[in-house]
Amino acid sequence: MSNNLDRQSRFAWLIVLLLFAGSVLNYMDRALVGVIMPQMRRDLGLTNADFGLAINAFLVMYAAFYILGGRIADRLGYRGAFVLTVAFWSAACMAHTLVQGLRSLALCRALLGMGEGGFYPAAIRAAAQWFSPESRAKAVGLILSALCVGTLLTPPLVALITLQFGWRASFLAIGALGLLLLPPWLLLHRRIRHVIPSLFPATEAGGAQPSFSSAGAGRAAVSPHHTLPAERDTSLIDALKSPKYWFVLAARASTDAAWYFYLFWIPGYFQDVRRFDLAGVGRLLWIPFFSAGLGALAGAWASSNLIRRGWSVDRARKMVLFASASLCVLGASACFVPAAYLALALVSLALFGHQSFGSNIHTVITEITPPRHVAILYGITGAAGTLLGAASQLAIGRVIDGYGYKPAFVWAGGMALLGAVLVRLGGPIDRLQLQVR
């Protein structure tokens, strides 16, 4: 039994490693357009408004396929959904080499959003199936930290390729990297099927949620076919009727909207208000996003360690969520301090807190939802966060034009605190008690 558990643990972390790599490339594929935007606009004859339309095409389809992709992952299983989404978004990224104007660019961005939106529900479903509660947040935190790695890698790599071969070559090269993930993914699952055949059904469509052993962190199910009857028969409609689910959805959407503020507006803030030149932005603005990656890992490890020490899942997750929200509130004071480097440190603290919050709220979603609907219910929360984040950008722009950045910073800190309060109001973090069909 111990030998089996050790092998299951190794397989689980190899799966997460490939999901991490997929998440890095997912973000690189979507972010590279921002790096080469001036060159693309010039060559294609596009205005800023045109470019905004293309970006919105991505966001709309990304939000839609957070939901549809979740349904696909629940039907195909995470293994097949990974192959489908990675292949689709890689092809869509490479298709950008053919764009000739606004319509073709918007079409390619929309296709990219379809593939990328479907990836994360599949990844979270995999984490929910392979990891016990005391280790699941670590897996989710590692997957989320990949976003920050992608942020760090994209500018230098894309700039190098573009300077040597042109911006179209960047889409071709970065898109092709995703296809390199498919052979090791398929070979790993073939190995799982060969070494531990009893585990493999849990990775297939309709596979049951594993029944986890307490023998160690990151270990997979001893009996992958075991599922509680009430969870197996719970309908998606019943889940959507639960107030607890909607409190958690609102908590994620609130903090996602604040994250988009930092993602889209911080470079402009440090140039417009703190008087960083473009070289300074390139030299220093990696620090907040590096801090965000550390936060994703630290928040996951903190709650996992509390659970291993005997804390309940409910108490451990909420403790870290409130601590993370407090860091976000403190970090939002960046706009009030006089020194630019102190402001940079506080923004880094805010992003550390946001991703620490994120690794736990994403895990909470898997802990309250019925196992066979994990991916689609997770996808709905992601769509809500994306749509609220997109809508809030319009208001934030007007507020900054009229009143400066201070109200936006205060709002971002308040949204994190609101998210923690909403989780608290939702009740205990445990499986939804739903009506059985």
390 with 333, same domain: the answer is yes
What integer best gives the mean pLDDT of the chain?
Answer: 84
Q: Is residue 411 part of a domain?
A: yes
Q: How far apart are CA 128 and CA 144, in angstroms?
A: 14
Which one, of 125, 9, 105, lies nearest residue 56 by Cα?
A: 105
* Token pair belonging to 148: 């920050």
- CA 130, 136, 139, 143 torsion-angle sign: positive
| CA 429 to chain centroid | 21
Question: If 0-12 CB within 10 Å is exposed, 13-18 middle and 19+ buried, where does residue 130 land?
Answer: buried
Q: Out of 40-54, 125-139, 295-309, 335-349, which region has the weakest mean confidence (pLDDT)?
A: 40-54
Q: Given this model, what pLDDT does residue 427 score?
A: 92
Q: How far apart are CA 74 and CA 261, in angstroms?
A: 31
CA angle 223, 23, 263 (to 5 degrees): 130
Q: Is residue 214 part of a domain?
A: no
The amino acid at residue 342 is: L
Cβ(207)–Cβ(404) under 8 Å?
Answer: no
Q: Is residue 220 part of a domain?
A: no
Which one, of 169, 132, 185, lies nearest residue 363 by Cα?
A: 132
Q: How far apart are CA 332 and CA 353, in angstroms?
A: 11
Q: How far apart are CA 349 and CA 288, in angstroms?
A: 8
Q: How far apart are CA 395 and CA 416, in angstroms?
A: 18
Q: How confident is the model at residue 432 (pLDDT cuts 50, 70, 90)?
A: confident
Q: Given this model, what pLDDT does residue 400 score?
A: 84
Q: Given this model, what pLDDT does residue 198 score?
A: 65
Q: Which domain holds residue 370?
A: 227-437
Q: How confident is the model at residue 415 (pLDDT cuts 50, 70, 90)?
A: very high
Question: If 0-12 CB within 10 Å is exposed, 13-18 middle and 19+ buried, where does residue 14 land?
Answer: middle
Q: What is the CATH number of the domain that holds 139?
A: 1.20.1250.20
Q: Is residue 11 part of a domain?
A: yes
N- to C-terminal Cα distance for the chain?
A: 36
149 with 269, same domain: the answer is no
Q: Given this model, what pLDDT does residue 310 score?
A: 92
Q: How far apart are CA 382 and CA 392, in angstroms?
A: 15
234 with 198, same domain: the answer is no
The domain boundary residue, chosen from 157, 181, 208: 208
187 with 253, same domain: the answer is no
pLDDT at position 39 over 90: no
* Token pair belonging to 180: 């390199």
Q: Given this model, what pLDDT does residue 148 score?
A: 77
Q: How far apart are CA 357 and CA 352, in angstroms?
A: 9
Which one, of 140, 152, 423, lies nearest residue 295 by Cα?
A: 140
Give mean pLDDT, residues 403-424. Answer: 94
Cβ(351)–Cβ(151) under 8 Å?
Answer: no
167 with 31, same domain: the answer is yes
174 with 276, same domain: the answer is no
pLDDT at position 421 over 80: yes
Which one, of 45, 437, 73, 394, lies nearest residue 241 by Cα?
A: 437
Q: How far apart are CA 112 and CA 91, in angstroms?
A: 8
User: How many beta carbons lie within 10 A of that of residue 238, not counting itself?
Assistant: 18
pLDDT at position 1 over 60: no
The domain boundary residue, chosen from 176, 208, 240: 208
245 with 376, same domain: the answer is yes
231 with 191, same domain: the answer is no
Give mean pLDDT, residues 174-188. Answer: 94
307 with 397, same domain: the answer is yes
Q: How far apart are CA 239 and CA 368, in angstroms?
A: 9
Give mean pLDDT, residues 149-160. Answer: 81
Parallel/antiparallel/unpaired status of strands 221-223 and 211-212: antiparallel
Q: How far apart are CA 134 and CA 9, in angstroms?
A: 13
DSSP 339-365: -HHHHHHHHHHHHHHHHHHHHHHHHHH
Q: Is residue 218 part of a domain?
A: no
Secondary element (H or E) of residue 185: helix 182-195
Q: What percent of the chain has pLDDT over 90?
A: 41
- The runs of H, that is alpha helices, within 77-132 are 78-95, 102-130
pLDDT at position 357 over 50: yes
Q: For helices 133-165 and 286-308, what crossing angle results, to 10°?
A: 160
133 with 13, same domain: the answer is yes
Q: Is residue 242 part of a domain?
A: yes
Question: Structural domain tally of the chain?
Answer: 2
Q: Given this model, what pLDDT does residue 107 score?
A: 94
Kindly provide the residue ranges of all beta strands, DSSP E only, lying in 131-190, ordered along the sequence.
none
* Token pair belonging to 6: 């050790």
| CA 361 to chain centroid | 11
Residue bearing the bigger pLDDT, 272 or 52: 272
pLDDT, tens digit, 9 for 90 and up, residues 208-219: 444 443 334 444
The amino acid at residue 424 is: R
Q: Is residue 36 part of a domain?
A: yes
3-state secondary structure 56-80: HHHHHHHHHHHHHHHHHHHHHCHHH
Q: Given this model, what pLDDT does residue 184 score?
A: 96
Q: Given this model, what pLDDT does residue 199 score?
A: 61
197 with 238, same domain: the answer is no
236 with 91, same domain: the answer is no
* Token pair belonging to 432: 């939804």
Q: Is residue 360 part of a domain?
A: yes
**Residue 69 to residues 102, 128, 227, 240, 275, Cα–Cα distance (Å):** 26, 16, 24, 17, 42
